[in-house]
């Protein structure tokens, strides 16, 4: 999708009406926006996406928008922010996952150009950022939508290298033997049942300079390329969709890539343990005890709680960078959907200021997050019987599942280390209210980019 700033005669002009119904007459597309004065920032994002979704349904290739029509009463965006939000969301709404579909000749492929009238320099600056970020979110969605048979750890590692091409990002891929040397027993345990070789992906972007005083942000993303549940096998219906279980990994690759493309003067590292949770005669068993990189032993009571295992070793690895903040992003628990429904990812952190900041940035970015506690009262549920820890509670495992997941990872992070766990299971797939195509949402790439920008 190309953004232009000249008035194109070929474009269909978008106007908003107070009604609910959309109309397409001649070269005007009227979008039913409801009460314009009542639209808030959340409504604005939905509206912008609706423009593209309606245009797509009408097979319109070129649209024109006037900036002054976008300056609504209920929204006090700066011109730059308006440009960014508009373009980001138009790009997200124009996305379809077509990799596996046969391309017909002359087939409609979405909105090709958006001509914007009355854009200021600040608006254009924001729009440029929006183009980069929107593109990265869609790149992430493309990866997350690839079926598990094709999205292997090897493919994810190649994608990380591909993403970094032409940027200042350094990519290092650690192989199984390197992971063995590092004694990452939790990652090795999860990997045992898979025929696919694991990859431990490390990306570094030293935008502020490696020798500068700025400590990097460490992004850690769950990269389970398919989650069968292991020997604690998932029921058939629950296994559908588990190719998305590497979404956390893909989001952190996209976020660091966006930071590099925007040439942010920030230091960022992204760490992605890419592993398949499969079954074979060699698969790890319920009851097995694994030894983590930091020396703690873990009883595996459920092989389907694999995300917290690979993240625990990855967070331990991240600490060698002495990061200012560690953020881990993971499709960790179905319980997060039970707690929050499908409209927010869960955030768990011991730093209240970080929690507030993420909630605010979530609101601005459109990647909404909501907190759950990490109180000391929950620590006992992480204890093992014959080992130091257990990956799920022995009793009451049905309750507080998202907190238990976060608490497990917390055992590998010092209390004074700023750290946040984001359970993105609720936002793994789009809902009808999102005005996006079905499948991966690419959340929370926009939130991560905002956090990098403001850290």
| Cβ at position 436, least distance to ligand BES in Å | 17
Active-site choice (53, 308, 427, 450): 308
Hunting for tokens 């459109």 — which residue is that?
Answer: 366
Q: Which of ligand BES, Zn ion, none interacts with 11 (beta carbon under 5 to 8 A by kind)?
A: none
Least distance to ligand BES, CB of residue 333, Å:
4
Cα–Cα distance for residue pair 397/299, rounded to 1 Å: 14
In the complex, least distance from residue 289 CB atom to Zn ion, rounded to whole angstroms:
19
CB-based contacts of 144, cutoff 8 Å, min separation 6: 243, 244, 246, 247, 250, 428, 439, 440, 442
| Residue 392 binds: one of Zn ion, ligand BES, none (C-beta under 5 to 8 A by kind) | ligand BES
Residue 380 CB, shortest distance to ligand BES, in Å, is 16
* Closer CB to Zn ion, 241 or 371, in the complex: 241
Nearer to Zn ion, 277 or 417 (CB): 277
Q: Which is nearer to ligand BES, 321 or 370 (CB)?
A: 370
Residue 37 DSSP class: G
Chain length of the chain: 455
- Does 148 bind Zn ion (CB under 5 A)? Our answer is no
Q: Decide whether 216 or 307 has the Cβ nearer to ligand BES.
A: 307
* Distances 74 to 14, 77, 364, 438 between C-alpha atoms, Å: 20, 10, 14, 29
Residues within window 236-255 making contact with Zn ion, judged by CB under 5 A: 245
Q: Are strands 325-330 and 345-349 parallel, antiparallel or unpaired?
A: unpaired
Residues 6+ apart with CB under 8 A from 42: 366
Closest to ligand BES by CB, 204 vs 434, is 434
User: Per CB under 5 A, does 276 bind Zn ion?
Assistant: no
d(CA 55, CA 220): 37
- Report the relative pairing of strands 297-299 and 289-291 from DSSP bridges: antiparallel
What secondary structure letter does DSSP report for 375? -
Residues near 250 by Cβ (< 8 Å), separated by ≥ 6?
Answer: 140, 143, 144, 156, 159, 221, 223, 442
314: helix, strand or coil: helix
Annotated catalytic residue 50: no
132's contact among ligand BES, Zn ion, none, with CB below 5 to 8 A by partner kind, is none
Could you give the angle at the alpha carbon of 249 between the alpha carbons of 429 and 266, nearest 5°? Answer: 115
191 makes contact, choosing from ligand BES, Zn ion, none, with CB < 5 to 8 Å by partner type, with none
Catalytic residue (one of 161, 234, 291, 383)? 234
CB of 283 to ligand BES, least distance (A): 15
Q: Which is nearer to ligand BES, 307 or 323 (CB)?
A: 307
Interacting residues toward ligand BES by CB under 6 A? 227, 245, 302, 304-307, 331-335, 392, 401, 425, 428
Residue 286 per-residue DSSP state: T
- Distance of closest approach, residue 11 Cβ to ligand BES, in angstroms: 40
Per the annotation, the verdict on 359 as an active-site residue is no
What residues are annotated to the active site? 234, 308
- Rule CB under 5 A: which residues touch Zn ion? 224, 227, 245, 304, 306-307
């Amino acid at each position: 999708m190309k953004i232009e700033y000249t008035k194109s005669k070929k474009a269909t002009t978008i106007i908003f009406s107070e009604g609910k119904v959309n109309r397409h007459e001649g070269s005007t597309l009227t979008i039913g926006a409801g009460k314009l004065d009542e639209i808030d920032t959340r409504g604005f994002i939905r509206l912008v996406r609706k423009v593209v979704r309606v245009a797509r349904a009408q097979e319109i290739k070129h649209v024109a928008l006037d900036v002054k029509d976008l300056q609504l009463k209920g929204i006090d965006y700066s011109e730059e922010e308006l440009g960014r939000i508009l373009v980001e969301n138009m790009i997200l709404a124009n996305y379809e996952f077509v990799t596996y579909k046969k391309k017909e000749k002359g087939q409609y492929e979405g909105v090709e150009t958006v001509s914007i009238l009355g854009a200021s320099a600040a608006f254009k600056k924001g729009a440029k950022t929006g183009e980069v970020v929107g593109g990265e979110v869609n790149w992430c969605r493309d990866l997350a939508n690839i079926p598990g048979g094709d999205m292997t750890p090897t493919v994810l590692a190649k994608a990380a290298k591909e993403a970094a091409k032409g940027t200042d990002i350094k990519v290092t891929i650690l192989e199984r033997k390197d992971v063995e040397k590092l004694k990452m027993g939790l990652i090795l345990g999860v990997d045992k049942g898979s025929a696919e070789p694991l990859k431990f992906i490390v990306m570094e972007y030293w935008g502020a300079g490696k020798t500068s005083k700025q400590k990097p942000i460490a992004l850690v993303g769950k990269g389970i390329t398919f989650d069968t549940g292991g020997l604690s096998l998932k029921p058939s219906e629950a296994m559908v969709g588990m190719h998305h279980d590497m979404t956390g990994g893909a989001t952190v690759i996209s976020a660091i890539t966006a930071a590099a493309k925007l040439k942010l003067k920030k230091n960022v590292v992204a760490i992605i343990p890419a592993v398949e949770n499969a079954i074979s005669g060699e698969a790890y068993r319920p009851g097995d005890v694994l030894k983590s990189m930091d020396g703690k032993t873990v009883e595996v009571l459920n092989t389907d709680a694999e995300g917290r295992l690979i993240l625990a070793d990855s967070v331990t690895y991240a600490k060698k960078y002495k990061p200012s903040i560690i953020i881990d992003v993971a499709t960790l628990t179905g319980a997060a959907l039970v707690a929050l429904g499908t409209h927010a990812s869960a955030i768990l952190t011991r730093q209240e200021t970080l929690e507030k900041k993420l909630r605010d940035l979530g609101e601005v970015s459109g990647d909404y997050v909501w907190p759950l506690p990490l109180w000391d009262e929950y620590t006992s549920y992480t204890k093992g019987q014959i080992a130091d820890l257990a990956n799920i509670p022995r009793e009451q495992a049905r309750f507080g599942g998202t907190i238990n997941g976060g608490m497990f990872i917390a055992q590998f992070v010092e209390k004074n280390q700023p750290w946040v766990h984001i359970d993105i299971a609720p936002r793994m797939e789009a809902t009808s209210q999102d005005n996006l195509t079905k499948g991966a949402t690419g959340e929370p790439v926009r939130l991560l980019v905002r956090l990098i920008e403001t850290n």
